[in-house]
Chains A and B, each alone.
Chain A
Amino acid sequence: MQEILSTLPQVLLDGLTLGAIYAVVALGYTMVYGILELINFAHGEIFMAGAFIGTALLFTFVDIGLALNWLTLILVLLLASLLTGVLGVGIERIAYRPLRKAPKLIPLISAVGISFILQDLVRFIAEYKTGNYIVTGQTVFENKIAIPAFSIGGYDVHASAIKSNTLVVIGIAVLIMIVLDIFVNRTKWGIAMRAVAQDRDTAALMGINVNKVIALTFFIGSAIGGATGVLYAQQYATINPFIGFILGLKAFTAAVLGGIGNIRGAMFGGLLIGLLEVFAAANLGILTGGALGAEYKDVFAFIILILVLIFKPAGLFGQAVKEKV
């Protein structure tokens, strides 16, 4: 107990950071699933592309002598979002829309294909430019914030240091989630997005251009996924073309945990998986008396997922968005 508590602040912060990243990526999966019932496997790669675009932009800024500060970071986030948003729309147009009337398995295969193409394309460009597909980028906020040791209820809590970037990641991710939530629930296009998700044919009868709404969904989901890639690269410094695969899988898991198709569910699921994963990594050894090490953290998170799905097959917040008459 003492041991677990002593590292808790660090675990919570790291868990929230990772969870915030999962949550925003999960939003992209859940939005697209909600509207097309398609698991957009390429979404993890869009996140990865965002990380590389952000890194490339920062290198370029340094080359032309721009100072790296919060303003440059915001500029990079906006540019990377725009580019990944356009990428997402392009993928929908080329790889999914022609298959919209095909059996569900077909666009799924198409999505897997797009994933591979994006991985190899980024790998090719990265190797061509830097000689290595593993890239360590520029970090905008390098300093750390120290949290002194303290004790509560007789337990000592270790001192910890967090990267100031941690706060940037959590802050921006939370901002994205709040803005998206307002957009989806309060604006005309957001409501239209939900209408199309619930009944595409009827939405068209209302004069809603369904293709436009679907494209918008891909744009937003991909743009925020790409922005999260930038944040990820800032937080963990080193990236490679395959980071989208595992991270995408976990974000997708988060979306399922929250109830796929449900936006608030995806946010909650992402944060939960992030917290569980970091908690497990820090404490599995302690909890199991050394039998299981940190490398079992994913098993732990997935067991929670399976337990939730056994008792709530639609996920924690399932069917709140996709109710059928």
Chain B
Amino acid sequence: MSLLQLQSIRSFYGQIEALHDISLHVQQGEIVTLIGSNGAGKSTTLKAICGQVKTTGTILFEGNEIQSQPPHTIAELGIAHVPEGRRIFPGLTVKENLEMGAFQVKDKKQITERMERVFQYFPRVKERLSQKGGTMSGGEQQMLAIGRGLMMNPKILLLDEPSMGLAPVVVEQIFEIIQKLNQSGMTILLVEQNAYQALQIADRGYVIQTGSIALQDHADVLLGNEQIREAYLA
């Protein structure tokens, strides 16, 4: 059984159908990447999983249908979505941002433990705890956004273009951390335009084109595919 499975998903913005018949799955422990050009429907796919966009079809998480649940309930089930553009709460301090990730947790000790774990991955975040989220650099915000997602102690992490707008060195760091997280057991669905780097750390990949899955295969196969090379890796 897959941890997460999308079956024939269609999503709509008003009358406009942005996703047509998307099916994909993520197994426990995998990094799966969803690549495609701007406007292809990558973010919409993640929004469909999280109940943020009107969707038909079936979404199974741990075997249970979740497609009719509101976003906060889906989060509670163990799906952490680190949205495109990081979406840090700008007026909240770094610490408050992290605390919001653990909103569902009542036990103070558990919150502290989770925070310590985030600091292991992102020591920089620890140095900035009392700073306002909005005053941090793009790279730091991305680290905080992933850290905030980890505070949910999720079963799967959905990352929407974590490399967007970041300097190559920083992108390198972020991808290293994603890999480290996966090695420690985290299942990851990684949305990227940066196809080359995403495929390098992924187990499998899906290529999305104008709302439909055009190709799917093991990451190394996709990396060697001529079409992909021309379209996304040039």
Interface residues of A (CB under 8 A from B): 188, 191-192, 194-195, 198-199, 201-210, 320-325
Contact of B103 among A192, A201, A324 (CB under 8 A): A192
Min Cβ gap B180→A in Å is 23
Using CB atoms, name the residue of chain A closest to B81: A205
- Knowing that A205-B50, A208-B72 touch, tell me 20 more A-B residue pairs with CB under 8 angstroms: A195-B96, A195-B100, A198-B89, A199-B87, A201-B71, A203-B89, A204-B71, A205-B52, A205-B75, A205-B83, A206-B152, A207-B152, A208-B100, A210-B72, A321-B91, A323-B91, A323-B134, A325-B85, A325-B86, A325-B90
Q: Which residues of B contact A205 (CB under 8 A)?
A: 50, 52, 71, 75, 80-81, 83
A-B contact count (CB 8 A): 75
Interface residues of B (CB under 8 A from A): 50, 52, 70-72, 75-76, 80-81, 83, 85-92, 96, 99-101, 103-104, 134, 148, 152
Among all A-B residue pairs, the 4 with the closest Cβ atoms: A207-B75, A204-B71, A202-B87, A323-B90
Asked whether A199 lies within 8 Å of B89 as measured between CB atoms, the reply is yes
Q: List 25 A-B contacts (CB under 8 A).
A: A188-B99, A188-B103, A191-B92, A192-B103, A194-B92, A195-B96, A199-B87, A201-B52, A201-B87, A202-B87, A204-B70, A204-B72, A205-B50, A205-B75, A205-B80, A206-B72, A206-B101, A207-B75, A207-B103, A207-B104, A210-B72, A323-B90, A324-B90, A325-B88, A325-B90
Contacts A204-B70, A325-B85 hold; do A198 and B92 have CB atoms under 8 A apart?
Answer: yes
Contacts A191-B96, A206-B100, A208-B103 hold; do A322 and B91 have CB atoms under 8 A apart?
Answer: yes
Interface hub of B50, B89, B103, B134 (most chain A Cβ within 10 A): B89
CA distance A188 to B80 in the complex (A): 19
Using CB atoms, name the residue of chain B closest to A322: B91
Q: Which residues of A contact B88 (CB under 8 A)?
A: 325
Min Cβ gap B43→A in Å is 12
Min Cβ gap A3→B in Å is 46
Contacts A188-B99, A192-B103, A195-B100 hold; do A204 and B75 have CB atoms under 8 A apart?
Answer: yes
Contact of A207 among B72, B96, B134 (CB under 8 A): B72
Asked whether B83 lies within 8 Å of A202 as measured between CB atoms, the reply is yes
CA distance A320 to B92 in the complex (A): 10
Q: Which residues of A contact B81 (CB under 8 A)?
A: 205
Using CB atoms, name the residue of chain B closest to A207: B75
Q: Which residues of B contact A323 (CB under 8 A)?
A: 90-91, 134
Contacts A201-B52, A204-B71, A325-B85 hold; do A192 and B100 have CB atoms under 8 A apart?
Answer: yes
CA distance A210 to B101 in the complex (A): 14
Min Cβ gap A322→B in Å is 7
Interface hub of B75, B80, B88 (most chain A Cβ within 10 A): B75
Asked whether B89 lies within 8 Å of A194 as measured between CB atoms, the reply is yes
CA distance A324 to B100 in the complex (A): 18
Min Cβ gap A294→B in Å is 41
Q: Which residues of A contact B91 (CB under 8 A)?
A: 194, 198, 320-323
CA distance A246 to B83 in the complex (A): 44
CA distance A45 to B45 in the complex (A): 45
Q: Which residues of A contact B72 (CB under 8 A)?
A: 204, 206-210
Asked whether B90 lies within 8 Å of A198 as measured between CB atoms, the reply is yes
CA distance A322 to B134 in the complex (A): 11
Contacts A188-B103, A192-B103, A325-B134 hold; do A206 and B90 have CB atoms under 8 A apart?
Answer: no
Q: Which residues of A contact B75 (CB under 8 A)?
A: 204-207
Using CB atoms, name the residue of chain B closest to A212: B72
Q: Which residues of A contact B86 (CB under 8 A)?
A: 325
CA distance A197 to B117 in the complex (A): 28
Q: Which residues of A contact B103 (CB under 8 A)?
A: 188, 192, 206-208
CA distance A198 to B88 in the complex (A): 9
CA distance A210 to B152 in the complex (A): 17
CA distance A325 to B89 in the complex (A): 8
CA distance A210 to B100 in the complex (A): 13
Q: Which residues of B contact A199 (CB under 8 A)?
A: 87, 89
Asked whether A191 lies within 8 Å of B83 as measured between CB atoms, the reply is no
Using CB atoms, name the residue of chain B closest to A261: B91
Using CB atoms, name the residue of chain B closest to A205: B81
Q: Which residues of A contact B100 (CB under 8 A)?
A: 191-192, 195, 203, 206, 208
Q: Which residues of A contact B71 (CB under 8 A)?
A: 201, 204-205
